[in-house]
Amino acid sequence: MKKLLTLRRRRPRQSAWCAAALLAATALAGCGQTYQAAIDTYPEDIRLRHPISIREGERKLELFVGVNRGGLSPAQQADVLGFAHSWRHEGTGGMLIDIPWGTPNERASVDAVDEVRSILAAAGVAPDAIATRRYRPTTPIKFATVRLSYPKVIAEAGPCGLWPKDLGPSKDGTDSSNHSYWNFGCTQQRNLAAMVDNPADLVQARGETPSYAARRAVVLDKYRKGEATATRSPDSEKGKISDIGK
């Protein structure tokens, strides 16, 4: 009887150990399923993994004006003129000119701003679109720069260089799955965002320009007559070195 009672007392303990082991295995299986689900939902398309975002940024131009110089150099005049053309093409707001204050070149900077305004006006920038303000450098320097800026729409992607997963063999076994790594395609998206002329082209297409009606009429007239509609170049035969095929 004592032996039977001992066996009966041991059985509940064994059942408890089995239940605990089963729960632990279930928990580990659930973690594996969750991790596998995270891998399965990993965006393979680089446009979804590294999207290009459109936001409003700023374009700046700094002009170094010496203490004894009240005007701009020819190179600086060209920079201001190019800055004005860029504003007309991509500016989304007015232009701001920051003039240094409390520096040795303060007076020379004020004289230079008058020349900057005249160049901007000649380039088509309305005087009402230009605002000026003074700023005092936070660090003690001998002379500060005249700063021109305006808001513009920019496209950007990234940051790149993030490696959340190993590329080689690892204990989680993700290297054996046929998934592209996280940083794949990031530089391509970032370079595309930096090179695009108009960020709005990434969102919607531009309107079509009017067709060249004169050339279209010539081509349609040749088509009705049964003639070749291709344009012939008078210099197309000059570069040939052989008469084979004539």
CATH number at residue 104: 3.30.1330.60
Q: Which residues constitute the domain of residue 6?
A: 2-49+159-194
* Neighbour count for residue 100 (Cβ, 10 Å): 22
Please report the pLDDT score of residue 140 as a whole number. Answer: 64
Q: What is the pLDDT of residues 27-56, one digit of tens each?
A: 554 444 444 444 446 688 999 989 999 999
Residue with tokens 């605002």: 131
Residue 95 has pLDDT above 90, yes or no: yes
Residue 75 lies in a domain: yes
Residue after which a domain boundary falls, among 153, 182, 216: 153
Residue 239 lies in a domain: no
Grade residue 14 by pLDDT with cuts at 50, 70 and 90.
low
Let me know whether 120 and 171 are in one domain.
no
Cα 224 from Cα 51, distance rounded (Å): 49
In three-state form (DSSP H/G/I as H, E/B as E, the rest C), the secondary structure along the chain is CHHHHHHHHHHHHHHHHHHHHHHHHHHHHHHHHHHHHHHHCCCCCHHHHCCCEEEEEEEEEEEECCCCCCCCCHHHHHHHHHHHHHHHHHECCCEEEEEECCCCCHHHHHHHHHHHHHHHHHCCCCHHHEEEEEECCCCCCCCCEEEEEEEEEEEECCCCCCCCCCCCCCCCCHHHCCCCCCCCCHHHHHHHHHHCCCHHHHCCCCCCCCCCHHHHHHHHHHHHHCCCCCCCCCCCCCCCCCCCCC
Contact of 91 with 151, CB cutoff 8 Å:
yes
- Is the pTM here over 0.85, yes or no? no
User: Which is nearest to 96 in space by CA: 42, 150, 16?
Assistant: 150
Residue 58 has pLDDT above 80, yes or no: yes
Let me know whether 60 and 142 are in one domain.
yes
Residue 213 lies in a domain: no
Q: What is the pLDDT of residues 186-211, one digit of tens each?
A: 999 999 999 998 898 888 888 888 88
Please report the pLDDT score of residue 67 as a whole number. Answer: 86
Please report the pLDDT score of residue 38 as a whole number. Answer: 43
Grade residue 84 by pLDDT with cuts at 50, 70 and 90.
very high
* Neighbour count for residue 63 (Cβ, 10 Å): 21
β-pairing, 95-100 vs 130-135, is parallel
List the structure tokens of 167: 């590329």
In degrees, rounded to 5, the angle at the alpha carbon of residue 189 between the alpha carbons of residues 187 and 192 is 105
Residue 11 lies in a domain: yes
Residue 199 lies in a domain: no
In angstroms, the Cα distances linking 153 to 94, 150, 160, 199 are 13, 10, 21, 7
In angstroms, the Cα distances linking 104 to 68, 73, 225 are 9, 19, 78
Let me know whether 44 and 62 are in one domain.
no
Residue 115 has pLDDT above 90, yes or no: yes
Contact of 59 with 86, CB cutoff 8 Å:
yes
